[in-house]
Amino acid sequence: MKIKKYLRLLLLIPEFLLLGIFNAAAPIYNEGNISAIAFIIVLMFVTVCFDGFAALWKTKVGKAVLSAVMALTAAGFLYAGVLSGLMYNAMTNTPEDPKVIVVLGCQVQGTQPSRMLARRLDAAFGIMQEYPDAQVIVSGGRGSGEAITEAECMKKYLTAKGADPDRIITEDKSTSTAENLRYSLALTDERDITIVSDGYHQYRASLIAKAEGAESVTAISADTEKRFLPTYWVREWLGITHFFLLGR
């Protein structure tokens, strides 16, 4: 009995650590960390109540139900692993000679870029310096709490860093990733594009870009703050699944 007790405690330690990791994004709570936290709580419940599940396993119906749950859980882990591999490949698919760089917007705080947007813009500025002939499209409309459009904010930030404003085209109508890419592609005849966004976002963005008419998509990935990465990574699994099911 003591051995079982210690084993449960050993299992609860990493579960509590995972719970802390997904709560580290607070006060930001979204589909990513909420779903992860819910799953971890279920795991903790199973760990604490293992004897009850062991007894249930001994019944015919209980064994069938638990077998189905375990099979679905294993399939879910496999699916998440495959998605993570695809996401990693997309975020490291860097361009050799970008012709058109599309910078995807995110939250603007008043007239200033959020930390996430500033990181994307810093990554964009770096690639602009490396490839001075590349055309740049900054994409993002005006959302709730934003005094100016994301596109305007991005252009101001880049020009303040020394970028040539004549190189930068603003797309200021979009309110989603799909619209970012649809409206940006409408501003250029080039169909080989490089997307600047957070790494976790690159795979879904590339799927959407190709659905909107892009032929080749490469990536310049901005760094994501470490405490937010698990939350946004898991949320992206849900976003990719949504795209697979509904095409958007």
d(C-alpha 63, C-alpha 53), whole Å: 9
User: In Å, how far are 64, 140, 165, 198, 205 from 182, measured between CA atoms?
Assistant: 47, 12, 23, 19, 11
- In the chain, DSSP finds a helix count (H) and a strand count (E) of 9, 7
User: Does residue 124 share a domain with residue 219?
Assistant: yes
Residue 223's pLDDT is what? 94
One domain, residues 69 and 111: no
47 shares a domain with 135: no
Which pLDDT belongs to residue 152? 97
- Given a cut of 80, whether residue 228 has pLDDT beyond it is yes
Under the banding of pLDDT at 50, 70 and 90, the label for residue 247 is: confident
pTM equals 0.91
Q: Are residues 57 and 178 in the same domain?
A: no
Position 2 confidence tier, pLDDT thresholds 50, 70, 90: low
Q: Are residues 86 and 133 both part of a single domain?
A: no
Domain end position, chosen among 91, 118, 138: 91
Question: Count of domains in the chain?
Answer: 2
Q: Which of 238, 242, 170 lies closest to 208, judged by CA?
A: 242
> Per the structure block, which two tokens stand in for 204?
């879904």
In this predicted structure, what is the pLDDT of residue 96?
93
For 48-69, what is each residue's pLDDT tens digit? 998 898 899 999 999 999 999 9
Residue pair 123/220 in contact by the 8 Å Cβ criterion: yes
**How close are the terminal C-alpha atoms of the chain, in Å?**
52
- Retrieve residue 128's tokens: 């602009």
Looking at the fold, whether 170 and 134 belong to one and the same domain comes out as yes
206: domain CATH number?
Answer: 3.40.50.620
Assess whether 130 and 219 both reside in one domain: yes
| pLDDT score of 178 more than 80 | yes
For residue 46, give its domain range.
2-91
Phi, psi angle pair for 115, to nearest 5°: -60, -40
Beta bridge partners of 128: none
- For residue 137, the model assigns a pLDDT of 98
In the prediction, which pLDDT does 1 show? 58
